[in-house]
Amino acid sequence: MKGSIFVTGPAGTGKSSLCGSMKEWFTLNGMDSAIVNLDPGAEFIPYEADVDIREWIVISSIMSEFNLGPNGAQVVAADLIIENVDKIKEILEELDDYYIIFDTPGQIELFTLRTSSPILVDVLGGKKSMIAFVGDASVSSSPSGHISQKLIYASVLTRFFKPTLFVLNKKDLVEEGRMERIMEWESDPDSLIDDFMAEKGEMRKDYFYNVLNAFNDSGLSSKIIPVSSKNMEGMEDIYSEMSLFVGGGEDDDTLYREENYDNDDEE
Ligand SMILES: Nc1nc2c(ncn2[C@@H]2O[C@H](COP(=O)(O)OP(=O)(O)OP(=O)(O)O)[C@@H](O)[C@H]2O)c(=O)[nH]1
Ligand SMILES: [Mg+2]
């Protein structure tokens, strides 16, 4: 494979739609890509999967076999994915010139909190793998919603310790001016603090001030990539981040991180 991207994010943010749109974009631009669905609980996926974990893991069977409800079965299913890793790897080894897009379970914790997930990313994606955290632009349109998504993004970054893009999907649902303000919050963190205080008042100001400054001090202010899977907008921006990373060579994982996350003066 040329490179891979694991698409994760809170439920319903449009992860699967983004996978489908990215594949379409690759095809339109003359590049090969394949989608691996790693969500055993998906009832419907808006693309044709090239590899589908549901062939080997069936939630209803797990429920009856282990006497579990749907959520318990999803946790067991998430842990069972690792047992199928060799089969998936074998298929992917045939896809030399492909970009591989991994769709992950709807509930983010089934991917990010399972012990097996970072191993899964390493084994399936290797050194050329990155993560796309997909947030919902309409959730980020309020300061508190944006900060909440940033905290989940930070959790994903902490867990996988891989180059992690902050993709804001569904930008078609947010007015342009609002989207610009969201971007400003990242380049000028004080504006986020001001807007958050305006939203919430002075309540527990010190606590939040410290939390927000921790993002800035640690270089966790991120380069946001606004996209719309629905309108196929922003796919080229995801690709350019991928190709920058992939094209950087074997040891540039750290370089990439420095470039993109110690970015006090970026944007
Ligand atoms: N307006 C708009 N809707 C979108 C966009 N992307 C996805 N959706 C809609 O959001 C809903 C959820 O999309 P999915 O792609 O299934 O999201 P998901 O994150 O994979 O969902 P789960 O895996 O169930 O957590 C669907 O109704 C999509 O049509 C977008 O860019 N704009
Ligand atoms: Mg999905």
Mean pLDDT of 66-72: 93
Residue closest by Cα to atom 13 of ligand 1: 14
Ligand 1, atom 17, residue with closest C-alpha:
14
Model pLDDT, residue 255: 41
In this predicted structure, what is the pLDDT of residue 267?
37
Q: How far is ligand 1, taken at its centre, from the CA of residue 170, in Å?
A: 8
Tokens of 4: 């891979």
Q: Best substitution site from 149, 229, 231 to test ligand 1's pocket, by max atoms within 8 Å of Cβ?
A: 229
Distance 178 CA to ligand 1 centre (A): 20
CATH of segment(s) 3-32+94-261: 3.40.50.300
**Which ligand sits closest to the CA of 46?**
1
pLDDT of residue 222: 67
How far is the C-alpha of 239 from the C-alpha of 22, rounded, in Å? Answer: 8
Looking at 63-67, 128-132, 193-197, 246-250, which range is the least confident one?
Answer: 246-250
Among 3-7, 60-64, 244-248, the least confident range? 244-248
pLDDT digits (tens, 9 = 90+) for 110-165: 899 888 899 999 999 988 899 999 999 999 999 999 999 999 999 999 899 899 99
Taking 50 as the threshold, does the pLDDT of residue 73 lie above it?
A: yes
Confidence class for position 264, pLDDT limits 50, 70, 90:
very low
Residue 125 Cα to ligand 2 middle (Å): 19
Pocket of ligand 1 (CB under 6 A): 11-17, 39, 46, 106, 169-170, 172-173, 228-230
Is it the case that residue 250 has pLDDT exceeding 90? no
Q: What is the pTM of this model?
A: 0.91
Three-class HEC string of 149-213: HHHHHHHHHHHHCCCEEEEEECHHHCCHHHHHHHHHHHHCHHHHHHHHHHHHCCCCHHHHHHHHH
Which residues have CB less than 5 Å away from ligand 2 (the ion)? 15-16, 106
How far is 37 from 85, CA to CA, in rounded Å? Answer: 12
- Across the chain, the runs of DSSP E, i.e. the strands, are 3-8, 33-37, 51-52, 99-103, 129-136, 164-169, 224-226
If residue 231 lies in a helix (H) or strand (E), which one and from where to where? none
* pLDDT for 202: 67
Residue 213 has pLDDT above 50, yes or no: yes
Sequence spans of domains, the chain: 3-32+94-261
Q: Whose CA is nearest to atom 22 of ligand 1?
A: 106
